[in-house]
Structure 1
């Protein structure tokens, strides 16, 4: 809006009208004040041009309120300058020339009317200053026709300005309501997106341990099947559970058992795992770790790290703390294998069962002849 208000072209057109009218009055033998009228108009044009250049070069460095106040001053200056030019032209001219001059004044007022919806008060003030000067000089010369005609025209234009302003205000109100509605829709969509994310996270997360649940595990293994993507090989699985968990529950109570599982979940979540690896609660006191791009040696080392870390946990129990141990089974396959992740989990379960048979608190690999790590 300010860009348009500071445009120089309406003033250039008004200047051209003043110059043509001055030339016409001189041609008809009048125009004794034509030169001062053109001088005032030219000085005003230069003032508005300089103000516009200042605005376009520095608008980003000042706030809009500053420039709006500057425009108010400029608009009132324009009304005074154009009024002075018109009144100078009216002096010493014939009655027929006065009607031409009044026409130019009407054009200037019409230009202000067309932009009144952008800055109502400054442009109405500009129009009133111009009209007062025209009416004053007309009455001074005893011209009782131009004065009432100018007043009637001004009244008509002010009414037209009022209609434009009311229309613009309604338009702005509609735009504001539309923007508010769009913001509300955007806010609602964002809330829905966050709610869906929370719901999805809840649906795929085990509430007690904070790890992924069985549903998330199934999705992960389906999406990360090495038969579909050979870059995932070698592929390993670690399956483990808490040793003597039922006696632990019977001794300390189910709340202590829940605290035990929650502590294990927190410890596993805190472990630095490479991107793409997954830890999930497999069921009850069982946990599983899926390790794409991990060979058997790395998986065995990681399994031993898990065993040692979990054995140091202090589990809060009534009036004391307790420690637990875990048994782990590891299974792996390398490039060229056609096994599925689910089959690998089953083989890790076999290794876990062997770890239980051999005394618990140990890591066993799927192959009975493979390396075994004891506590």
Structure 2
């Protein structure tokens, strides 16, 4: 069985710690507040019961125990805002402080239970705290066994020394041990259930991220030419109607250029398809490098043809961009055998303010006709259609 990568395992453990720490901080503050409130009530009750004198040793011991738990609970409350602000860095510290508080609370319950033996057998306080910790705390199996098991052992060992008369503690030992075992089981079950639930949620998130990434890759492949990386003709259906509608709404020109590599068949026949593909790629990158604004796009229209779109580009701007593209392709200095001049492009251009979102089809036809004119006038040039519809 293949083990997961250490970094992945460590990251999952850290994610689990952060999740558990968030749960602890979400509920711990009101638990601490409840415990502090109960201890404050117990202190006031003891003071009122003794006429504010605490004249008996028992009253002073109980008030001291109540006060200790009150102070520790208030300190815990004071730490909660800091721990929340420090997440996820404080995740490990949060869990450790929770375990320390649970250990202190159980030890406190053992001491109260032992002191209660002077008036009669029983372990109600300890058992209540034991089950409360098991139900509310986030305890992994090992800390749960230690925190819930050690106080039980300590109580059983110390109980006879705090009873004024010899008692038969078998029933108490049996019941408290069974409850301690149940408490450990509850704590472990809750923790492992939370762990499985968190891991399941993380797995779903991871799968969703993978699906989203695959969808992005698929959308890219569907909308882009595999050879040049440029947009393909699907761009016309997916984006161009919206661009055209925006230009129509705001009264902006939409410039278009049909760009065709001159004598590409000669180059392809001379050097082969691989060199032909390399030529297409280099020309496409040269054309792409001429774009200067977010409203400009270059598409591979098909074969050795490219399409330029310029939102906000009028006839003069389109002509300038076309001249730049012709110069950029000439600068590549790609020569075909038997031809002294480098590979060039012919460009047919037009620009107009669209009347509606479907006007781009007319612009493409006009640009294509201008390209036909550029080819018949000697190639390596820009011909602009300046007819009606601008």
Q: Quickly name the TM-score band, shorter chain normalised.
A: 0.7 to 0.9
| SS of equivalent residue, structure 1 residue 115 | helix
Aligned match of 2:94 in 64, 67, 85?
64
Q: Residue 211 of structure 2 corresponds to which residue in structure 1?
A: 192
Using the alignment, how far apart are the partners of 1:137 and 1:332 within structure 2?
100
The correspondence for 1:293, drawn from 312, 315, 322, is: 312
1:8 is matched with which residue: 10, 13, 36? 36
For 2:181 and 2:238, the matched residues in 1 are separated by 66
- CA-atom RMSD in angstroms: 3.5
User: Is the 8 Å Cα contact of residues 217 and 280 (structure 1) preserved in structure 2?
Assistant: no
Q: Does 1:264 align with 2:283?
A: yes
Secondary structure of 1:236's aligned partner: strand
Report the counterpart of residue 21 of structure 2 in structure 1: none
SS of 2:244's equivalent?
coil
Separation (CA, whole Å) in 2 of partners of 1:124 and 1:9: 27
Q: Where does 1:318-333 land on structure 2 (aligned, <5 Å)? A: 323-333=342-352
CA contact (8 A) 2:283 2:329 kept: yes
2: CA distance, partners of 1:316 / 1:65: 71
Give yes or no for the alignment of 1:110 onto 2:120. no
TM-aligned CA distance change 1:70 to 1:334, over 3 Å: closer
- The range that moved more, 297-306 or 10-19, is 10-19
1:29 corresponds in structure 2 to none
Asked whether the 8 Å contact 1:37–1:86 carries over to 2, the reply is no
Q: What is residue 135 of structure 1 aligned with on the other side?
A: 160
User: Matches of 2:231 and 2:239 in 1, distance apart?
Assistant: 10
Query: Would the aligned equivalents of 1:227 and 1:340 in 2 still touch at CA under 8 Å?
Result: no
CA distance in 2, matches of 1:294, 1:356: 23
Alignment partner, residue 59 of structure 2: 38
Residues 1:57 and 1:137: Cα distance change in structure 2 (over 3 Å): closer
> Counterparts of 2:100 and 2:358 in 1: how far apart (Å)?
79
Q: In the alignment, is residue 74 of structure 1 matched against residue 95 of structure 2? A: no
**Taking structure 1 as reference, are residues 189 and 84 closer, same or farther at Cα in structure 2, changes over 3 Å only?**
closer
Supply the distance in 2 between the matched residues of 1:124 and 1:222 (Cα, whole angstroms). 71
Render the CA deviation track for 1:96-117: whole Å, top value 9, x for unaligned: xx34xx4xx5331232232241
Which has the higher mean CA deviation after the structures are superposed, 201-210 or 40-49?
A: 40-49
Q: What is the rounded CA distance, in whole Å, between the counterparts of 1:113 and 1:338 in structure 2?
A: 72
How far residue 50 of structure 1 moved from its aligned partner, in angstroms, is 1.9
Larger Rg: 1
Could you say if the C-alpha distance between residues 362 and 57 of structure 1 is closer, same or farther in structure 2, counting changes exceeding 3 Å?
A: same
The 8 Å contact of residues 296 and 331 in structure 1, kept in 2 or not, is answered as yes
Give the C-alpha shift of residue 263 in structure 1: 0.6
Q: 1: CA distance between counterparts of 2:341 and 2:68?
A: 88
Check conservation: 1:82, 1:130, Cα contact below 8 A: no
Cα deviation per residue 1:280-332 (whole Å; 9 max; x = unaligned)? 111111111112221111111111111111111144989xx993111111111
TM normalised by structure 2 equals 0.74
Tell me, yes or no, if the aligned pair for 1:259 and 1:315 is still in contact at 8 Å.
no
C-alpha distance 306-312 of structure 1, shift in aligned 2 (>3 A): same
Alpha-carbon shift at residue 364 of structure 1 (Å): 0.7
> Are residue 238 (structure 1) and residue 257 (structure 2) matched?
yes
Q: Check conservation: 1:328, 1:362, Cα contact below 8 A.
A: yes
Please list every run of 5 or more consecutive structure 1 residues that lacks an aligned counterpart in the other structure: 24-32, 91-97, 370-375
What is the 5 A alignment of 1:198-237? 198-226=217-245, 229-231=248-250, 233-237=252-256
Q: Provide the C-alpha distance between the structure 1 equivalents of 2:344 and 2:61, rounded to a whole number of angstroms.
A: 98
Contact 1:351 1:367 in 2 (8 A): no
TM-score of the pair, normalised by structure 1: 0.77
Asked if 1:273 corresponds to 2:292, the answer is: yes
* Helix, strand or coil at the partner of 2:225: coil
Paired position in structure 2 for 1:311? 330
In structure 2, distance between residues paired with 1:267 and 1:19: 89
Q: What SS is found at the alignment partner of 1:247? A: helix
Distance 2:251 2:240 in 1: 11
1:345 aligns to 2:364 (yes or no): yes
| Residue aligning to 1:122 | 147
Q: Report what 1:26 is aligned to.
A: none
In 2, Cα distance between the equivalents of 1:135 and 1:313?
Answer: 98
Deviation at 1:181, TM superposition (A): 1.5
The alignment covers a number of residue pairs equal to 338
